[in-house]
Amino acid sequence: MTDVIVIGAGVIGCAVARELARFSLRVVVLEKARDVAEGATKSNSAIVHAGHDAPPDTHKARFNVMGNALFEALCRELDVPFRRNTSLVAAFSPADLHALEELKARGDKSGVPGLHIAKRSEVRALEPAIGREVCAALVAPTGAICCPYELTFRLAENAAANGVAFHFSCGVRTVAREDGGWRVETKEGRSFKARAVVNAAGLYADVLNNQVSAEKLTITPRRGEYLMIDKAYAGSFRATVFQVPTPMGKGILVTPTVDGTLMVGPTAENIADKTDTRTTAEGLAKIRQAASRLWNGFPVNGVIATFAGLRAHGDRGDFVIGEPPDAPGFFNAAAMDSPGLTAAPAVGAYLAEQIAGKLGAEKRSDFVAAPTHWPVFRSMSMEGRVAALALDPAHGHIVCRCENVSEAEIRASIRCRIGARTLDGVKRRTRAGMGRCQGGFCTTRILAILCEELGLAPEEVTKFGGGSHVLFSCGKELPLP
């Protein structure tokens, strides 16, 4: 019997878990994948929204504005890259201009600070590379960017440092009431019991909610495809540039990332399969078309990767947060499509307060908020590098040459509490393999380090768990023709 089970180790689940760790509570996180951040968290726009999109007085508007306000301090506390880079909503026509005014009115009402509508010349001065047809833009100075998977990893790492237990490859099958608490059973045959449950199961949050509540919920996967652009083009945009939103979402945008690359996307397509993260020829063509409208001189040759993510789009048009009336002790953090990332810190804090109140838990005095993170070679000064090398010569072995990631960092990413167990796990913790060669040079080295650190044979190493094996055993066993 534990106090709280958090289902799902995406940014929401990890934010809740880390906030719960501030209280005298035993907290367990169950995650079906091999790692944190494997769902929507790893493939989204990485934007901390200003908050002008959602209608005022919705959860989306409230948690967006609150989350935006909390985000910078949280990132500083956890030493996660964050940049308040301003966001623009670009208007291409008089009709768009009207929409900007509506967005501004909404934003003002929701308490979004500093909104104003900029004319063509001001927009051009702000973003010289913006599309020639852009005639005005709503400027939101609180718009920001971050790295969602790095944030999630650090939230998890910090939660674990404060005693939260993480169980991976634990796909929750059922949640049921038992003796005033909850019984949680996994597909793998494991069983857990807790006084409270947090449903942060992303696309599958509807399934769990519907097992315990009569207030049914339907979550539709809404696919978004993206292009990632080489950091050689860093500096092309300082701000995030949106188009005027449609009922399907905020539309295709272009944004710098905190890592120096740029992203263009997402498309928005409701699909049936909650696992279908394929990119499509149509989707990628649509992004290229929109990109050339938003970005004067869009460098199609600068594309280094394409990917798709699935937003958890709920049928109520808003986040579903808190206890359903007929399931006390079961806390939803469901239907967290955009601005879910932005809302995460606020949702985490809100739910932790609610749960602690309900379970009568006190704040701990021994909570350690400061992160324990390895030195990151690429962001060190010359002096910092010399000092790091003196401590660990493995910093002098640059494994990933596109992103300058050292062997010491790769080993640390495996040895930490929520350590990497896969190639993608190393990649998202260190950026090794995320650069322009996409692992062409470093994959063999990272695989060898994973083997050394984890005692694996090379053919046991996977890209992201399950059957995603990278290699086969030595070919001498294959018969010749």
Partner 1 sequence: MSAQTITCIGCPMGCRLRVLIAGGQVASVDGAGCGRGAVYARQECVCPTRMVTSLVRVQGRHAPLSVKTARPVPKEKIFACLQSIRAARVTPPVRIGDVIVADVCGTGVDVVATMACTEGDS
Partner 2 sequence: MTDIDIVIIGGGPAGLAAAVAAREAGCDRLLLFERDEVLGGILPQCIHTGFGLHVFQEELTGPEYAQRFIDRVHALEIPVQCGTTVLDVTRDRVVTAVSPMCGLRQFRAKAIVLAMGCRERTRGALMIPGWRPAGVYTAGLAQRWVNREGWMPGRRVVILGSGDIGLIMARRMMFEGAKVLACVELMPYSSGLTRNVVQCLDDYDIPLMLSHTVTDIHGRERVEGVTVAQVDAQRMPVPGTEQRFDCDTLLLSVGLIPENELSKAAGVELAEATAGPVVDESLQTSVSGIFACGNVLHVHDLVDEVTRESAQAGRAAAAFARSAAGLPPPALRVRDGAGVRGVVPQAICAERVAEDVSLMFRPTAVFKDATAAVKIDRVEVARQRFRILTPGEMVKLTLPKGLFARFKGACELTVEVTE
Q: Which residues bind partner 2 (CB under 8 A)?
A: 227-228, 232, 275, 277-281, 283-284, 301, 303-307, 382, 385-386, 389-390, 393-398, 401-402, 404, 407, 436-441, 443-444, 458-459, 462-464, 466-481
142 beta partners: none
Query: If binding is defined by CB under 8 A, does position 455 make contact with partner 1?
Result: no
Q: How many CB atoms lie within 10 A of CB 300?
A: 10
Cβ nearer to partner 2, comparing 142 with 261: 261
Q: Could you say which of partner 1, partner 2, none residue 404 binds, taking C-beta under 5 to 8 angstroms by partner kind?
A: partner 2
Is 49 marked active-site? yes
CA 177, CA 56: separation in Å to the nearest integer?
Answer: 35
Cβ nearer to partner 1, comparing 126 with 470: 470
Runs of H (alpha helix) within 118-255: 120-126, 148-161, 205-212
**Closest distance of CB 148 from partner 1, Å:** 38
**Closest distance of CB 2 from partner 1, Å:** 44
Residue 36 token pair = 């944190």
Query: If binding is defined by CB under 8 A, does position 390 make contact with partner 1?
Result: no
Spatial contact of 194 and 5, defined as CB atoms under 8 Å apart: yes
**Closest distance of CB 451 from partner 1, Å:** 11
CA 120, CA 397: separation in Å to the nearest integer?
Answer: 49
**Strand pairing class (191-199; 2-7):** parallel
Cβ nearer to partner 1, comparing 180 with 481: 481
**Closest distance of CB 467 from partner 2, Å:** 4
Q: Could you say which of partner 2, partner 1, none residue 396 binds, taking C-beta under 5 to 8 angstroms by partner kind?
A: partner 2
Spatial contact of 84 and 71, defined as CB atoms under 8 Å apart: no
**What is the residue type of 312?**
A
- The CA angle 456-29-338, to the nearest 5 degrees, is 105
Spatial contact of 463 and 421, defined as CB atoms under 8 Å apart: no
Cβ nearer to partner 2, comparing 92 with 441: 441
CA 388, CA 394: separation in Å to the nearest integer?
Answer: 9
Spatial contact of 339 and 347, defined as CB atoms under 8 Å apart: no
Which of 49, 59, 313, 373 is an active site residue?
A: 49
Runs of H (alpha helix) within 295-336: none
CA 151, CA 357: separation in Å to the nearest integer?
Answer: 26
- Choices 26-34, 74-82, 262-270, 472-480; region in contact with partner 1 by CB under 8 A: 472-480
Q: Could you say which of partner 2, partner 1, none residue 385 binds, taking C-beta under 5 to 8 angstroms by partner kind?
A: partner 2
**Closest distance of CB 457 from partner 1, Å:** 10
Residue 105 token pair = 């009115």
Cβ nearer to partner 1, comparing 304 with 454: 454
Q: Could you say which of partner 2, partner 1, none residue 207 binds, taking C-beta under 5 to 8 angstroms by partner kind?
A: none
Q: Could you say which of partner 1, partner 2, none residue 234 binds, taking C-beta under 5 to 8 angstroms by partner kind?
A: none
Spatial contact of 463 and 449, defined as CB atoms under 8 Å apart: no
398 beta partners: 406
**Closest distance of CB 478 from partner 1, Å:** 10
Of 168, 212, 220, the closest CA to residue 190 belongs to 168
Mask: binding to partner 1, 284-303, rule CB under 8 A, as x and -?
A: --------------------
Residues in contact with partner 1 by CB under 8 A are: 474, 476, 480-481
Active-site amino acid positions: 49
